[in-house]
Structure 1
Amino acid sequence: MTGKDWLSSRRAEVAADRILDAAGDLFAKHDVASVGMNDIARAAGCSRATLYRYFENREVLHTAYVHREAYRLHKQMSELTSGITDPRERLLAGLTTSMELVRESPALSSWFATADSPIGAEMAEQSEVIQALTSGFLLSLRPDDPDVVHRRARWLVRVLTSLLIFPGRDARDERAMLEEFVVPMMCPNETEPATNASSLRTDRTSSP
């Protein structure tokens, strides 16, 4: 790759980020579903033609924005919980911290507003990036069968999006629910029986 090609690629990356930044500003002030491509182009200070050169439609732009923010949030969460050595405590801290980071961001919390159909829940369920980041976090706590981890990650994403849409009474209430119901499933003690699908299949096949 020539220096000129690299520069062109870098400029495209900067331009795309500028557009996503402008979209984020709009998401913080308006319902996500109501923000159109014309609005984003105007906020970014570019033409519609330029906007569509980087993002061919609103769905592609939404996906790019969610994935960029997912990587950023995951990095923040990992840094804030990296000093916790106990897997269960780190899991609990990771879950509560992730929800706090989403709620502290007007642009991200708007994706889970209950006034309209929460677009964030659908995006989180369909995003391979979010699923992969969640699976990676679970694997960092303890090794396990990849298929089991993937199913747990999908379930965990649903739990977190549910709490973002329908919060508990307060932070203590949410932490208690996560600690009682989620942590034992995601990160069981060595003395606790396994509760994954593979162990259930083994039990069924070994029974008379």
Structure 2
Amino acid sequence: MTSEWTGARRSAARDRILQVAAEQFAEHGGDVSMSDIAAAAGCSRATLYRHFDSRTALQLAYIAQVAGEISSTIETRLAGIDDRTERITEAVLIALAEVRSDPALTAWFTSAGAGLTSELALSSDSVGAITTAFTQDPIAAAWIVRVIVSLLIVPSSEDEERTMIQRFVTPTLSR
């Protein structure tokens, strides 16, 4: 019983840190310091590092959490679409919209944060799993992550993005 209770407390503390980190990412971008996150969470840096051994680990944990939510949203919204090419186009557009609706992620997709954001997106197993599910090809999955990051950093109109995805992305992934 004690280990269950300790595990639940540890999980709650981890969830609280991720919530505060999201707020800090939204306010300061992805490169906010661990000291700032610890202060905002009301814990010591040692406590923060007990849960996340580096800033990158914390960033990737946040990305994994959000990627899971985005993946669920994509699955739900694609439920009635049977056409493979339409599913691919809509999946990319939904992913773009979902990332743009998250203030913490939006703060990362600036020209100044492009390097960090690209590196995190490409190193995230969660992001890779979502795109690989649609492509069954890890190389194509990495490419689509790069395309999505590019569209997030240098956005266009919704119509223009849809056209680009339909013309260049969907045919490549539909093979």
Counterpart-to-counterpart distance in 2, 1:113 and 1:40: 21
Greater relative CO, 1 or 2 (CA 8 Å, sep 6+): 2
Task: Give the match for residue 17 of structure 2.
Answer: 19
Task: Give the match for residue 68 of structure 2.
Answer: 71
Give runs of aligned pairs for residues 79-94 of structure 1, distance below 5 A: 79-94=76-91
Runs (4 or more) in structure 1 with deviation over 6 Å come to none
Deviation (angstroms), 1:117:
4.2
Counterpart-to-counterpart distance in 1, 2:65 and 2:51: 15
The one-letter code matched in structure 2 to 1:84 is I
- Confirm or deny: 8 A CA contact 1:111 1:118 kept in the other structure: no
- Confirm or deny: 8 A CA contact 1:118 1:165 kept in the other structure: no
Task: Give the match for residue 32 of structure 1.
Answer: 30
Counterpart-to-counterpart distance in 2, 1:175 and 1:32: 27
Secondary structure of 1:112 counterpart: coil
- The alignment's TM-score, normalised by the length of structure 1, stands at 0.79
Does 1:186 find its partner at 2:173? yes
Deviation (angstroms), 1:70:
1.2
Question: Residue deviations 1:11-46, cap 9 Å, x none?
Answer: 21111111010010011111222x111111111121
The one-letter code matched in structure 2 to 1:83 is G
Task: Give the match for residue 55 of structure 1.
Answer: 52
Does 1:161 find its partner at 2:149? yes
Secondary structure of 2:43 counterpart: coil
Does 1:46 find its partner at 2:33? no
Matched pairs, number: 175
Deviation (angstroms), 1:133:
2.0
Counterpart-to-counterpart distance in 2, 1:57 and 1:182: 35
The one-letter code matched in structure 1 to 2:22 is G
The one-letter code matched in structure 2 to 1:88 is T
- Structure 1, unmatched stretches of 5+, are 140-148, 189-208
- The alignment's TM-score, normalised by the length of structure 2, stands at 0.93
**2:7 aligned to 9, 20, 29, which one?**
9
Larger Rg: 1
Counterpart-to-counterpart distance in 2, 1:137 and 1:83: 16
